[in-house]
Amino acid sequence: MVRALSLLFFFFLSLAAAAPAAAQSTARAVTGLGPRLDRAASDPAMRPLKTVIVARGGRVLAERGFRGHSPAESANIKSASKAIVSALVGIAIGKGLLEGPDQKIAPILKADLPETPDPRLNDITIGNLLSMQTGLDRMSGPNYGRWVSSRNWVRFALSQPFVDRPGGEMLYSTASTHLLSAILTRVGRRSTLALARDWLGPVEGFRIGAWEQDPQGIYLGGNQMAMSARSLLAFGELYRNGGKTAEGRQVVPGDWISQSWQHQTNSRFSGDEYGYGWFTRQIGGEQVHFAWGYGGQMLYIVPSLDLTVVMTSEESGPSARNGYRDLLHGLLADIIGAVRAA
C-alpha cells in the first residue's frame, strides 16, 4: 500500500514537473550573483543541487535551474512542508478554531486514543507537536516505514511508548506534524489541502500540487508534498513580510511568525534551535530561520537583509549525515556576503 501511494504521488509529481522549463537562468542586480551560483553548482559535491532562487525585499535577484531542472517544476519538498503545516496552525488559531499552543490535543483526537491510554497523553499540547516535544517515540528515521505501513497513522502514532515526558527533549518525528494535520482536518471540517488552498490562496504564486494521504484520507503532515521552488519562495516571502502578502493582506497572524521562530528546543542532530516547524542558526554572520527537508530542500529567511532563498535538491541521501546540508549553508553564506557587499 505504501509503495502504491508513493508511486501515485510521484506520478502526479512527474506530471507537474512537465511544466515548461522557462527561466532556467535569469539574474538581476547584485553583480556577479548569478555566475557565483553557477560556479557553486559546478562543484561535483553540489551535484544534487537542482534549483536556487534568491530574492531581496520581494524582488528576485537571481534564479537558476541546474542540470535540466527549472524553478518552475514541482519537487518533493519533504520536511520543509512542516513549516507550511505550522502556518496553517497559526491561521487556525487566529480564526478561533484552535485555542493556542497550550491547548491539549487529547480531546480533539479522542476517537484515536488507545483503549487504555497512557495518562501522559493528556498532557501533550499543540505546541508540543509543533516543536517535536511530545515525549512519544519517534516515527521518523528507522521507525518511519512501519508507521506509514500501519492501517491508521494517527492511532499508531498515539499508541507509541513514551521515551521522554511531554515538553522534554526534541524528538524529531513526522508523526507529530501528521497529528497536527489530523487536528486541522477535524477543527476545520475540511482536508488540510483544502484549508491550505483556501487560507494561503491569496499568496500570489503559492500552490501545492500532489500530496500523499494516509489510509483515512488525512494529508501527510510534514512530508511528501509537491511544490515548485517558486511556490516555496512565495511562502517564504509571506513569512519574511510578517505574514502579509505583497498587497498588504494579513494571511498569517504576525505574532505567529514571531512565535514560530522563537526558540523552543534544540535539534539533537544538528544543535540548531527549533521553534514551530522552523530551525534557526547563524549563517554568514546573520541570524537565519529555515525550513529543511530531506536531501536538501531548503527555505532560508534572513530578516536582517530582507532576504529569502530557496534551494531544491535531488533526494539522494540524508543531507546532514553526508555533509551536503553544510555545503548548502555555505552557499547561503556566500549569497549573504554578495548581497551585503552590493
Taking only the tens place, the pLDDT of each residue in 220-241 is 999 999 999 999 999 999 999 9
Please list the residues that pair with 301 across neighbouring strands. Answer: 289, 308
Return the sign of the alpha-carbon dihedral for residues 65, 70, 76, 81: positive
Residue 301 confidence (pLDDT) above 50: yes
Contacting residues for 146 by C-beta, under 8 A, at least 6 apart: none
Mean pLDDT of the chain: 91
pLDDT in tens, 76-94: 999 999 999 999 999 999 9
Q: Is the pLDDT of residue 217 over 90?
A: yes
| Three cell numbers, residue 120 | 501522559
Burial class (CB in 10 A: 0-12, 13-18, 19+), 176: buried
Contact 193, 208 (CB under 8 A): yes
- Sequence-separated (6 or more) residues with CB below 8 Å from residue 186: 108, 109
Count of domains observed in the chain? 1
Q: 204: how many CB neighbours lie within 10 A of its CB?
A: 11
Q: Identify the residue whose cell numbers are 514541482.
A: 74
Quote the pLDDT of residue 342.
83
Strands (E) across the chain are located at 25-27, 49-56, 59-65, 74-76, 226-228, 265-266, 273-274, 279-283, 286-293, 297-302, 307-313
* CA-only gyration radius of the chain, Å: 19
pLDDT in tens, 143-171: 999 999 999 999 999 999 999 999 999 99
Q: What is the pTM of this model?
A: 0.91
pLDDT recorded at residue 114: 94
* Predicted pLDDT of residue 298: 98
CATH number at residue 176: 3.40.710.10
Lowest mean per-residue pLDDT among 14-18, 90-94, 178-182, 298-302: 14-18
User: And the C-alpha cell for 295?
Assistant: 536531501
- Counting beta carbons within 10 angstroms of the beta carbon of residue 186, is it exposed (0 to 12), middle (13 to 18) or buried (19 or more)? middle
Contact, 27 vs 329, CB < 8 A?
no
Which contacts of 95-99 are long-range, i.e. CB under 8 A and separated by 24 or more positions?
Answer: 97/187, 97/188, 98/126, 98/183, 98/187, 99/126
pLDDT of 106-124, one tens digit each?
999 999 999 999 999 999 9
The per-residue pLDDT for 317 is 72
pLDDT at 265 over 60: yes
Q: Please state, for a pLDDT cut of 90, what percent of the chain lies above it.
A: 86
Residue 6 confidence (pLDDT): 52
d(CA 174, CA 80): 11
Predicted pLDDT at 22: 33
Domain around 208:
2-341
Instruction: For residue 250, give the 3-state DSSP assignment.
Output: strand
CA distance 103 to 125: 5
Residue 153 corresponds to which amino acid?
Answer: W
Q: Is the pLDDT of residue 321 over 60?
A: yes
Residue 14: the pLDDT is 44
Q: Is the pLDDT higher at 305 or at 141?
A: 305
SS3 173: coil
Comparing CA positions, the residue from 329, 209, 216, 228 lying closest to residue 280 is 329
Q: How confident is the model at residue 269 (pLDDT cuts 50, 70, 90)?
A: confident
- Residue-wise pLDDT for 4-59, tens only, equals 445 445 444 544 443 333 333 333 457 689 999 999 999 999 999 999 999 999 99
Percent of the chain with pLDDT over 70: 91
Torsion of CA 24, 30, 35, 40, to 10 degrees: -100
Please give the pLDDT value at position 29.
56
Confidence of residue 208 (pLDDT cuts 50, 70, 90): very high
Q: What is the pLDDT of residue 270?
A: 87
